[in-house]
Structure 1
Amino acid sequence: MNHSTGALSGIKVLDLSRVLAGPWCTQTLADLGADVVKVERPQAGDDTRHWGPPFLKDSAGNDTRQASYFAACNRNKRSLTVDMAHPEGQALLRRMAQEADVVVENFKTGGLAQYGLDYESLKRLNPRLVYCSITGFGQDGPYAERAGYDLMVQALCGLMSITGHADGAPGGGPLRMGVAVVDLFTGLYASNAILAALHARNATGEGQYIDMALLDVGMAVLANQASGFLATGAAPQRAGNIHPSLAPYQDFATSDGNVLLAIGNDGQFQRFCAAAGHPAWGQDERFATNTARVRNRPDLLALMEPLMRTRTTAEWIMLLEDKAVPCGPINTIAQAFDDPQVRARGLRVDLPRDAGDGIATVSGVASPLRLSATPVTYRNAPPALGQHTDEVLRGLGLDSAAIAALRAAGAV
């Protein structure tokens, strides 16, 4: 595997994480050129290898037993199977940590101390090590010992309370997001923290410990909703697709479906009104400013909702496209992948895999990171379980006999 062109070329990451937040973090590092070795349990592997259906398909189009969930967050990594409970397995991982720049793990608080793989143990072996722990609730506080999952945190941090239709509306009630956003944001925050720690190491020569918690991240990504509460003391409420601070900024029914209108300033609203044949709305004191439109939202919607039904979704998009008024369709994921802009940006990547398991290609979504001098590279597909075990162990200096002995002992 060639890492020489990546921004993180030369950085070695020992990935002891599983499921989503940790693997999302390490996939970001891997995409940027780091050599990430993903450590998995022999025979079982990462939990998400079994989270299906849906499953990856073999070259004949048949379902395999490998879940597509795993493929979402494990490309560009090498898979090494090690029994962490085995003394020889622990010794292997400590040896790898001595050569690593970064360790990422998401075990329960204190869970790795029994194996000698906690930060304090590994720091003694490698003072330059950047060690990132990801847990549900952090390393301290009354919930530190609890297991934490994305859905629990979406509920606990208040995110579900502002997601979905209002209680009195059809289908009203709190909803989780369609993907595990707290896990994903935690992975992104963790990768940022790791990059910062690596930069600091350049100046100090010392690594450091990073304590990432899903709850902390869930609170942080409440963003303007949290700041609104802190400014007023009033808890935001669910309002469907309506934006609490902008109007009109929501979906509308058209003559053949729905369209999304996202007007963010007064100029956009005036241009919309002119294009729609109602320029006077843009001068009406009830609607001339965004603050007025938010305060008079019921009056505005009473005018706009019947108007929006007079054209098709495509007609509205065509009418507003050259007016600098944000307007677009509400796509399915299938429609999104077929969108000409998505195609032009190459946002689907098909990676070949030769692991002897019948899966020839694994498809995924391209990294959104676009660096001009050190671009993201797609070196290999998400690996089969233990696909690179021999390769990684040979890189540690073990010969075939030593590797065979470890297998016989059940350490790998």
Structure 2
Amino acid sequence: MAKPLEGVRVIDMSHVIAGPMASMYLAQLGAEVIKVEPPQGEVMRASRTPHDDGCGDTPAGFAALNAGKRSLVADIRTPEGAALVRALARGADVFIENFRPGVVAKYGLDYESIRALRPDIVYCSISGYGQEGAWSGRGAYDHVIQALTGMMMMSGDSEDAPPQKVGFPAIDVAVGMLGALSITAALHRRERETGEARGQYIDASMVQASLMLMYPNASSYLTHGIAPRRAGNRGYTGSPTADTYRCADGWLATAANTPAQFRRLAAVLGMEALCEDAAALDLESFNAPGGGFVVARDLPRLQRLFRDAFAQRSAADMESRLNAVGVPAARVRRLGEFLDEATAGEGAALAPAVFAQGDAQVRTPGLGFRFRHDGGPSPRGAPALGADTAALQRQVQDAASAALCDAAGLR
């Protein structure tokens, strides 16, 4: 089936996770993505593990981020390499880079230089701190930005606990998603506009992405000056039974946020009397028509009562019983345990993507959504280093020859 971005050409000069995540979306949505790599390849390509033996020279981690792309080897530090990228950019719709601000300008590959060649280019720069400001030249990694923006101090059970990072590169992935979103929006705008304003420059940063992941909390602070408190494994709503409990056979997370959900949870546990306990709950809001979240008057007591109640019960049984009466609940699982269940067709429906890589298959969760009418991701894996260099060089040479013929009136 046709894909939404077929006919779009992308020059991708990004590396590691953030930029490749953005261009991965574009590639899997149908764009031709030309990944520009230095002669030695980018760092993720070199990050092999003992499990990658069947994947040829392309590790599975690299393949998951770069499946469906083409590979061009070009050393942009040389005049010839930079000229090759510029020549390809003449026929591109999108240009992505995630170097520190100012680096690509040294090689004539910054927005203004590319715009001079292709006025309607959609150019996306991804960086740690953005293109402006005193910190713009700093390098950045995910956990460093988690530390900077307060994310580390939002995880943990108490205010005096040490900082705790999110256990995966959440910000890298988020800025890649935001990059893909903003690029597709700019391409849509370009289709509707005419004139010189059709192109776009996008400044996407890890700092911005981090704040978007903490959007409600950041907005509350900016609006009211209310700093978020560390909630540990409690839910965002603050309801006393939006929490995580140790059970006899593991842990269970519940989200009885509203009075109706609290009543159902209390009924399952045989604790209905709490729904009339003015010392435990704010009964005025609890019984108000269309009331909001449950408000505790004596949170420590409620926490103790529910901890004791769940400690005697099975997490698996409680997950089933609570969901059956409309109370969101889930037994705490490890990632592998959940994926084993989901891929076996139990519970959640995934939209996975499988890419052929050498003699192996690289299995991924997909794009996070499924199109009904445009088909799934391409099954083609990531290219070998420089696999498309010769073909792209010939393409540039042919285009240059055609331009000379046109100039001389020979065609």
Shorter-chain TM-score: which interval? 0.7 to 0.9
Aligned to 1:256: 249
Report the CA distance shift for 1:85/1:398 in structure 2 as closer, same or farther (over 3 A). farther
In the alignment, the residues of structure 2 paired with residue 91 and residue 37 of structure 1 have an alpha-carbon distance, to the nearest angstrom, of: 15
Letter in 2 for 1:47: V
In the alignment, the residues of structure 2 paired with residue 244 and residue 337 of structure 1 have an alpha-carbon distance, to the nearest angstrom, of: 25
Instruction: Specify every segment of 5 or more residues in structure 1 that has no aligned partner in the other structure, as ranges.
Output: 400-412
> How much does 1:31 deviate?
1.3
| Root-mean-square deviation over aligned CA pairs | 2.3
Aligned to 2:379: 379
Secondary structure of the equivalent of 1:79? strand
Matches within 5 A, 1:9-408: 9-42=6-39, 44-51=40-47, 53=49, 55-58=51-54, 66-168=58-160, 172-205=161-194, 206-247=198-239, 248-285=241-278, 286-287=280-281, 288=283, 289=286, 293-340=295-342, 343=345, 345-354=349-358, 359-396=359-396
Do the aligned partners of 2:6 and 2:30 also contact (CA within 8 Å) in 1?
yes
Do the aligned partners of 1:337 and 1:343 also contact (CA within 8 Å) in 2?
no
Letter in 2 for 1:255: A
> How much does 1:383 deviate?
2.6
Of 364-373 and 28-37, deviating more is 364-373
> How much does 1:186 deviate?
0.8
In the alignment, the residues of structure 1 paired with residue 131 and residue 371 of structure 2 have an alpha-carbon distance, to the nearest angstrom, of: 35
1:173-231 Cα offsets, whole Å, 9 max, x none, are: 21111111111111111111111211221232421211111112222322121223234
Letter in 1 for 2:274: W
Aligned to 2:405: none
Do the aligned partners of 2:257 and 2:293 also contact (CA within 8 Å) in 1?
no
Of 93-102 and 236-245, deviating more is 236-245
In the alignment, the residues of structure 1 paired with residue 208 and residue 294 of structure 2 have an alpha-carbon distance, to the nearest angstrom, of: 35
1:259-318 Cα offsets, whole Å, 9 max, x none, are: 111223221111111122222223333335365534532121111001001211111112
Do the aligned partners of 1:6 and 1:377 also contact (CA within 8 Å) in 2?
no
> How much does 1:144 deviate?
1.3
Secondary structure of the equivalent of 2:235? coil
Pairs aligned (count): 384
In the alignment, the residues of structure 2 paired with residue 140 and residue 392 of structure 1 have an alpha-carbon distance, to the nearest angstrom, of: 34
Q: Could you tell me the percent identity over the aligned residues?
A: 33
In the alignment, the residues of structure 2 paired with residue 130 and residue 255 of structure 1 have an alpha-carbon distance, to the nearest angstrom, of: 55
Report the CA distance shift for 1:251/1:26 in structure 2 as closer, same or farther (over 3 A). same
Letter in 1 for 2:170: V
Report the CA distance shift for 1:98/1:342 in structure 2 as closer, same or farther (over 3 A). farther
1:307-346 Cα offsets, whole Å, 9 max, x none, are: 0012111111122131111111211121011114774634
Do the aligned partners of 1:337 and 1:348 also contact (CA within 8 Å) in 2?
no
Do the aligned partners of 2:63 and 2:362 also contact (CA within 8 Å) in 1?
yes
Secondary structure of the equivalent of 1:37? strand
> How much does 1:351 deviate?
1.8
> How much does 1:394 deviate?
4.4
Aligned to 1:8: 5
Of 5-14 and 48-57, deviating more is 48-57
Secondary structure of the equivalent of 2:367? coil
In the alignment, the residues of structure 1 paired with residue 379 and residue 181 of structure 2 have an alpha-carbon distance, to the nearest angstrom, of: 22
In the alignment, the residues of structure 1 paired with residue 24 and residue 354 of structure 2 have an alpha-carbon distance, to the nearest angstrom, of: 16
Do the aligned partners of 1:362 and 1:382 also contact (CA within 8 Å) in 2?
no
